[in-house]
Structure 1
Amino acid sequence: MKQESNNHTSQIQQYDVVIIGAGPAGLAAACRLAQLRKDNPISICVLEKSNTIGGHIISGALFETRALDELFPDWQQTDCPVTTAITDTTTHWLISEKHALPLPQSVTQQTLDTHSCYVISLGLFCRWLAKQALQLNVDIFTGVSIDTIIYGTHPICDKKNLSIDELVTYEKNGTKYVAGVKTKASGMNKHGKSSDDYKESVNFHARYTILAEGSRGYLGKEVIHRFKLNQHSQSQHYALGIKEIWEIPQQQHQIGKVVNTLGWPLNESHSTGSGFMYHLNDNKIAVGLITDLDYHNPYMSPFHEFQRLKHHPLWASVLQGGTRISYGAHAITKGGLASLPKQAFPGGVIVGCDAGTLNNNNVKGCHTAMKSGMLAAATIYTELTNNESYTEPLYQTLFESSWLYTELSQTRNTAANTHHFGQIPGYIANYIEQQYFDGELPWTLPHSIADRTALLTTTQTQPIYYQKPDGKLSFDIASSVALANISYRKNQANHLLLHNSNLPIEQHFNYFNEPSLRYCPAGVFTITEQENKKIFKIDASKCLHCKVCDIKDPSINISWIPPEGGSGPNYSDM
């Protein structure tokens, strides 16, 4: 298997297509492009910030094979790790901390359909996809963080028949396009000085660049802003997904069983989201809580809500006597079609969760991410065969004629229904829309309030007090983060940028009791006292790359940027 690290001998690498991110979208794009090129000398590479494929990947994950069937029709005759078919699906409304109401399948089949689906480890699946890409002669570089995008400017002679106004604007600003990326140098300390193991950055020049970084991608944010790709979209919306893998007693395990829960405990804080239990093979079970990040109460902690959830009898009866193996967390892009930015830009396409292609109706995003990457590959291949470079691929036309667009269009009101009407009325509205109208209602509900602006002040809300963990079903943050196999080189620069060091204490603490102390699922942010003065501290060595601080901070005062390549969690089977 050909797989290379970031120990490059040259400081410039030239490819026809560079793909950022070795998740399902990026790897599907690489495989499809490699299949299309046949004998054409199109060079392709994938850059992944984790040291291992799948090391930063975390998802539920319910998997629909529609895109995989198109990409590799014979996947079932291979060693593809999509083997655990869903055998049973139940949904429960948790009325209280002790009681649950099972919902009939006639109510849930349209909103949480898992027919002909599988439960998988997305990390294992991405490693299999990477193997297919390598066999198709795609270069994969791991442990590579991207520092900046390389922009180019079209020469003025390329433009003809410009009006006077266009000419003035053109000469002033130029027409920008993405021409590749520059990797992050490693071995720099916090003061910007190089150490003995310093490695210079590398420029990856490309005729086309595909951004597939996952939810709230660093480069995706920049490109969306630079090219105004979201000027016709509603605000994007996110959730925080927290997940654990357990090994449970055999008598409590039902391979292929899927359990979804709604209601408690999130409803007590007037928040929305859902819990999940997916029975994997080998007596393992994936459990988690998805918390919508438009919640109002600043005292709410998604991590501690998840720990409470596991004490509900429905959950405790399955987990009791089990052993927790893994822990992780990541943001989920869930605004849907109305929040989807324009995905093509001069020189490339933004795909998958980097753009927001999740089907929010059933929280399945692997197959949609793959399809968006495959569509990007097809449009870029057309540009390359026409000997084009740095143009804006005609992605939108292909996208709107695909099943991906149809699927996202049919579920475009799912998030808005829940956020407008609440969990139960919103669930009913989604059921009616899907069951009786097949998602074809002639309107799109507005949903334009950003998640970070949803917080109310402490004077408008009630404190939430969480019990201490019992160490059997519920745990503290420190012991949880220890299961994520986090690794950072000592003394590297902080990758969590605090733009105004006074805001957390002088404003956020007074208004919101500083919400980062609770929204972060890794305990990165703390407040200490020194000489009777409060000090806000950031311990970036605990960071899981979940990016919630980049989303939920009420003043946009914290920005996540990529650390050195290979830094962060190292998930094995998430």
Structure 2
Amino acid sequence: MAEEESAQDSISFDVLIVGAGPAGLASAIQLAQLAKEHQRPFSIAVIEKSAEIGGHILSGALFDPHALNELLPNWQDTDCPVRTKVKHDDFYWLNNSQSAFSIPPLLRPKVFENHDHYIVSLSELCRWLAKQAELLGVEIYQGFCADKIQFEHQRSDSVTSDNADLPIYMSTVKGITTKAMGLDKQSNKKENYQPSMLINARYTIFAEGSRGHLGKALIKQLKLDKHKQPQHYALGIKEIWQVPKQQHQQGRVMHSLGWPLSESSSTGGAFMYHLDDSHIAVGLITDLNYSNPYLSPFDEFQRLKHHPLFAKVLQNGKRIEYGARAITKGGLASLPKQSFQGGVLIGCDAGTLNMNKLKGCHTAMKSGMLAASAVYSELIRDHTHTEPCYNALFESSWLYDELYQARNTTAYIYKFGQLSGAIATYLEQSLFSGHAKWQLNNNVPDHACLLPISKANKISYPKPDNQLSFDKTSSLYLASISHPDDQPCHLQLQDAQIPISQHLKAFDEPSQRYCPAGVYEVITENNQVKFQINAGNCLQCKACDIKDPSQNISWTPPESGSGPNYRKM
């Protein structure tokens, strides 16, 4: 059990894990297993900002069980929700809104194959993993939001500087501070006010998922991305449908490239997965390095569903869930240093997605397992706040091998476009098995890629038909968002004037379109143009934090428990 240091003010654990996604939960389970195996009990806690485990979890999700096999070898003998095995695997190039070309297996790199993989709901899998962690003694706290990192800065005489007159300070992570609850819009205390709490830990593992706000702060504060290319991202938008049985083929997987994104010279791809119980997962992934400020990932997704390949499966079906999430996809060239004094940064918080396999769940889990082993090695030596030996374990693991083989994939697509980039990837993987001697980098950050509207073609999107395509309002209803209106706005502008004074003229304020939830609007009120933030709509996808051309918008967590409540994502 945890040791309480002062009532309601602070609490301490040996290990604190921030985020109950696949990386964080795998790390917790591995740590608890090691402690049990060696009879060395340690207090382990996981905090999760969503009201329920899995509530903020969204992925495609095609699942490679490699890491799960290592973590829980008997999972197939349990009620684990990994049960829909891939039976059919199709890949298409969409030429336009009506036609498509089937890409045969011979023209796909072997790493794209999905044999022995599964179609899963990552929300359901995380709920199951949380139960396994609790059975091992891990304490899991839902609805607790990590707000800030506790740093300790000490002068170091063992580190030299280029400028001998400047002192060098070492920053150590000692835990986190939770977010205070019960504040109104003006940050005044309401009757239900609950103060923030210090959670101290000998080691803290950060597993917030893509573009985690603490991970972002860690990378900046500790310069973990020094000598790395900028991180790159995509926005994934997904729906769950229930379709007539005759249109459902359990275990079928379909991916596509090309239209509709190809019309605007943008890159990304679509997917449609047949789960169990006549459920279909369908989605569009839009790379956030796109250049046309008029592009709307949400509306591109609505167009996609009218293509005959998708429409024939979805027609007469019913949408039951909607959501969106950023995807960290820069690969090995963008991967920051993951260990530091007092902790480790893991999973999509760091960027461990394998772009060759188009999968990140198994790699996130493995990074969490490696972090657990590294931290455990420090604990059994009775160390506190040292730097875990994560990097050595990482570089000798299959996780590193996978990321190394996929290191050029994102850069090929960004530099050469979707079709030429896919061909370059195929040639490298087929001829060199991912071990070519060269490495491509893309040093232009996603937010710097937008063209001014004077150089862009305006895009006109068709109105939704409310059968296959829908508006944002009806879509948000299916995300089951819970967000009390009377709380401080969690979407912060460094300069409130920039959206109107700069972005409106230059880019027609692109947040109106890149946000898949209608959070940002430009309105006219009393003959004055204003920028409006509808924070209660936020899906916590982080697209605004990534794509804003001036990096003027910062996503911070809202009050604990706020946000979507996904069930089958």
| TM-score, normalised with respect to structure 2 | 0.97
Q: Distance in 1 between matches of 2:510 and 2:285?
A: 18
Q: How far did 1:151 drift? A: 1.2
Which residue identity lines up with residue 58 of structure 1 in the other structure? L
Q: How far did 1:446 drift? A: 1.6
Q: How far did 1:436 drift? A: 1.5
Which residue identity lines up with residue 295 of structure 1 in the other structure? Y
Residue 185 (str. 1) matches residue 180 (str. 2): yes
Unmatched tracts of structure 2, length 5 or more: none
- Counterpart secondary structure, 1:187: strand
Query: 1:277-426 residue pairs with structure 2 within 5 A?
Result: 277-426=272-421
Judge conservation of contact 2:8–2:197 (CA < 8 Å) in 1.
yes
Q: Distance in 2 between matches of 1:187 and 1:36?
A: 39
CA displacement 1:34-59 (0-9 Å, x = unmatched): 01112213110000000100000000
Judge conservation of contact 1:30–1:377 (CA < 8 Å) in 2.
yes
Q: How far did 1:153 drift? A: 3.6
Q: How far did 1:362 drift? A: 2.4
Match of 2:17 among 19, 39, 45: 19
Which residue identity lines up with residue 497 of structure 1 in the other structure? Q
Distance change (3 Å), C-alpha of 1:238 and 1:164: closer
Q: Distance in 2 between matches of 1:216 and 1:269?
A: 26
Which residue identity lines up with residue 186 of structure 1 in the other structure? M
Distance change (3 Å), C-alpha of 1:383 and 1:510: same
- Counterpart secondary structure, 2:204: strand
Judge conservation of contact 1:232–1:341 (CA < 8 Å) in 2.
no
- Counterpart secondary structure, 1:116: coil
Which residue identity lines up with residue 322 of structure 1 in the other structure? G
> How high is the sequence identity, in percent, across the aligned residues?
55
Which residue identity lines up with residue 188 of structure 1 in the other structure? L
Which residue identity lines up with residue 107 of structure 2 in the other structure? V
Distance change (3 Å), C-alpha of 1:510 and 1:231: same
Aligned to 2:101: 101
Judge conservation of contact 2:109–2:429 (CA < 8 Å) in 1.
no
Distance change (3 Å), C-alpha of 1:71 and 1:91: same
Match of 1:195 among 190, 193, 197: 190
Q: Distance in 1 between matches of 2:135 and 2:9?
A: 26
Q: Distance in 2 between matches of 1:165 and 1:296?
A: 39
- Counterpart secondary structure, 1:175: strand
Q: Distance in 2 between matches of 1:434 and 1:518?
A: 36
Distance change (3 Å), C-alpha of 1:391 and 1:161: closer
Which residue identity lines up with residue 126 of structure 2 in the other structure? C
Query: 1:95-494 residue pairs with structure 2 within 5 A?
Result: 95-110=95-110, 112-154=112-154, 169-170=166-167, 174-494=169-489
Aligned residues: 564
Judge conservation of contact 2:257–2:269 (CA < 8 Å) in 1.
yes
- Counterpart secondary structure, 1:389: coil
Judge conservation of contact 2:175–2:200 (CA < 8 Å) in 1.
yes
Judge conservation of contact 2:12–2:200 (CA < 8 Å) in 1.
yes
Q: Distance in 1 between matches of 2:159 and 2:358?
A: 47
Which residue identity lines up with residue 35 of structure 2 in the other structure? R
Distance change (3 Å), C-alpha of 1:68 and 1:161: closer
Q: Distance in 2 between matches of 1:64 and 1:142?
A: 27
Q: Distance in 2 between matches of 1:538 and 1:164?
A: 44
Judge conservation of contact 1:146–1:182 (CA < 8 Å) in 2.
yes
Q: Distance in 1 between matches of 2:368 and 2:497?
A: 42
Q: How far did 1:532 drift? A: 2.2
Q: How far did 1:531 drift? A: 2.7
Q: How far did 1:165 drift? A: 8.6
Q: How far did 1:501 drift? A: 1.4
- Counterpart secondary structure, 1:16: strand
Aligned to 1:507: 502
Q: How far did 1:344 drift? A: 0.4
Distance change (3 Å), C-alpha of 1:164 and 1:76: closer
Q: Distance in 2 between matches of 1:86 and 1:165?
A: 55
Q: Distance in 2 between matches of 1:403 and 1:567?
A: 37
CA displacement 1:364-403 (0-9 Å, x = unmatched): 0000000000000000000111111111111111100000
Q: Distance in 2 between matches of 1:413 and 1:109?
A: 14
Q: Distance in 1 between matches of 2:100 and 2:44?
A: 51
Distance change (3 Å), C-alpha of 1:115 and 1:163: closer
Q: Distance in 2 between matches of 1:165 and 1:274?
A: 46
Q: How far did 1:109 drift? A: 4.4
Q: Distance in 2 between matches of 1:162 and 1:509?
A: 47
CA displacement 1:450-476 (0-9 Å, x = unmatched): 000000011111100001000000000
Residue range with higher mean Cα deviation, 188-197 or 242-251: 188-197
Judge conservation of contact 1:111–1:430 (CA < 8 Å) in 2.
no
Q: Distance in 2 between matches of 1:166 and 1:511?
A: 41
Which residue identity lines up with residue 131 of structure 1 in the other structure? K
Aligned to 1:52: 52
Q: How far did 1:435 drift? A: 1.3
Query: 1:473-552 residue pairs with structure 2 within 5 A?
Result: 473-552=468-547
Which residue identity lines up with residue 235 of structure 1 in the other structure? P
Match of 1:29 among 27, 30, 45: 27
Distance change (3 Å), C-alpha of 1:500 and 1:164: closer
Q: Distance in 2 between matches of 1:61 and 1:161?
A: 46
Q: How far did 1:565 drift? A: 0.5
- Counterpart secondary structure, 2:110: coil
Q: How far did 1:9 drift? A: 5.8
- Counterpart secondary structure, 1:261: strand
Distance change (3 Å), C-alpha of 1:84 and 1:161: closer
- Counterpart secondary structure, 1:349: strand
Which residue identity lines up with residue 170 of structure 2 in the other structure? T
Q: How far did 1:163 drift? A: 7.2
Which residue identity lines up with residue 112 of structure 2 in the other structure? L
Unmatched tracts of structure 1, length 5 or more: none
Residue 558 (str. 1) matches residue 553 (str. 2): yes
- Counterpart secondary structure, 1:484: coil
Q: Distance in 2 between matches of 1:163 and 1:524?
A: 47
| TM-score, normalised with respect to structure 1 | 0.96
